Structure 1
């Protein structure tokens, strides 16, 4: 069911909306990353292997100059890519006056493919961690992060840093100082409802180490501290979300512990709460208000 709904979301977005964004990160942003962090990191964030859906952002910005707005980094979910967040980025352009210098995304996941499992590998969070640091330093500004579905826990771990539960290390210290506002939309922060079903523990997505099973080592890690995701932390959820669920193991799964504000919609599906709440997403990260 999760795959069907997510694929439907991709189809609808690509069918109804054109992109105002350039394909892949700009040459100037790519060169900045390469000179600062090396070619491997530049390739990791550009995701040329995925073509025009692999990444975007940077425009003609001069590295080190401060942007007029806090740049926004969009983080996709399972079975999707940076390209599927272009609709929301285009909304920020048309409605909020954002430029390509202020809108960014990359694709986390295996080279040459999309994330097809809910197991949240260390490399996924490492990719987003690199992106947050690179955009912040490139624009000389704190960033805003809007993450969707599985991208929410992946991004929270990217900001938290430290050891990965399956091995590996993201580096010491949180990235709290890099993030002005963090917004998690329909994130399985306490696990996905389907992973509570009998025999679900045999699925990679629902494994007890870095999977979406409630109480997994990964989810316990990111929920062990509060309000590290940014100066302002918000979450959006819906009572009609049957993909990640609403209440999982006794907790509202899309709620981020310690968040400044939780916005709850009635009856919206997982797809709808991600794609039909653009105005509220925009207002939360730019005005710290839903109106």
Structure 2
């Protein structure tokens, strides 16, 4: 059964991350990180989560962090968060998202930048510490390889360092939905490497230094790793350089749909996403 929810189903009172959560981040990591995660420069669509939760207290459900598609934003995941609220009894104290990177620019001008991974790494640690628990993470499309780098840590191929050690202990379950972990098929076309998104350093050309880095180890993302993919995803492709690009090395379970497009596998599998995260079942 496929379920699609429109943004109108999300509660109308939109806001960025809550004041208690923002204050916690400010106290723990400083003003710069608080601004980075709140993304108030984007208005109410820049981030969400936290509610009136008291720092250090556990929530009824493990918090869920949604990692949006590159160049969209935190608000694009609100319809999925709405389903978690209506179907699973989650509250705004348990559902989180931040906007990493710019919004609305051309996809071909974007790469897997270290600063994007750094923001997500801060966010995962902050939510975990704010709720004194592990978190669950669902990532979509190009958000998948970026957050995998955030989880892996270490040096960035484009310069910078995320700090030592993976975030495995912070994350209970990681769900990767339609993520180009081995590259994007169109980046294999002649002269595609001239595009920023397909550059051989931190681009989505197969065997780029970035992709080789995040695939150099297995099962570092979380205690449990799931994948949702589709044979009809022509946006990222299926086989890229002979490997299923949406697969995550060492995943515990992969749910494959037939014929869904890239956008459909993200928006029409909300029920399956919920069950995998909250119940660890696929159907």
How many residue pairs align between the two structures?
A: 277
Which residues of 2 match residues 71-82 of structure 1 at below 5 A? Answer: 71-82=63-74
Choose which of 244, 251, 262 in structure 2 pairs with 1:270. 262
The residue aligned with 1:5 is none
Residues 38/145 of structure 1: CA separation in 2 closer, same or farther (3 Å cut):
same
The residue aligned with 2:100 is 108
d(CA) in 2 for partners of 1:190, 1:17: 35
Preserved contact between residue 71 and residue 143 of structure 1 (Cα < 8 Å): yes
The residue aligned with 1:159 is 151
The residue aligned with 1:6 is none
The residue aligned with 1:214 is 206
Which ranges of structure 1 fall in alignment gaps of 5 or more residues? 1-11
The residue aligned with 1:26 is 18
How far the C-alpha of 1:19 sits from its partner, in A, is 2.6
d(CA) in 2 for partners of 1:286, 1:187: 21
Choose which of 183, 188, 208 in structure 2 pairs with 1:191. 183
Map Cα deviations across residues 16-70 of structure 1 (whole Å, 9 max, x no partner).
6343263110001000000111000000000011112100000000000011111
d(CA) in 2 for partners of 1:246, 1:62: 44
Secondary structure of the corresponding residue to residue 274 of structure 1: helix
Secondary structure of the corresponding residue to residue 93 of structure 2: helix
The alignment status of 1:236 with 2:228, answered yes or no, reads yes
Alpha-carbon RMSD across the aligned residues, in angstroms, is 1.4
The residue aligned with 1:181 is 173
d(CA) in 1 for partners of 2:104, 2:168: 28
Residues 115/82 of structure 1: CA separation in 2 closer, same or farther (3 Å cut):
farther
d(CA) in 1 for partners of 2:180, 2:268: 19
Preserved contact between residue 74 and residue 105 of structure 1 (Cα < 8 Å): yes
Preserved contact between residue 5 and residue 80 of structure 2 (Cα < 8 Å): no
TM-score (ref. length: structure 1): 0.93
Which residues of 2 match residues 85-164 of structure 1 at below 5 A? Answer: 85-110=77-102, 113-114=103-104, 116=106, 117-164=109-156
Preserved contact between residue 59 and residue 93 of structure 2 (Cα < 8 Å): yes
TM-score (ref. length: structure 2): 0.95
How far the C-alpha of 1:115 sits from its partner, in A, is 5.7
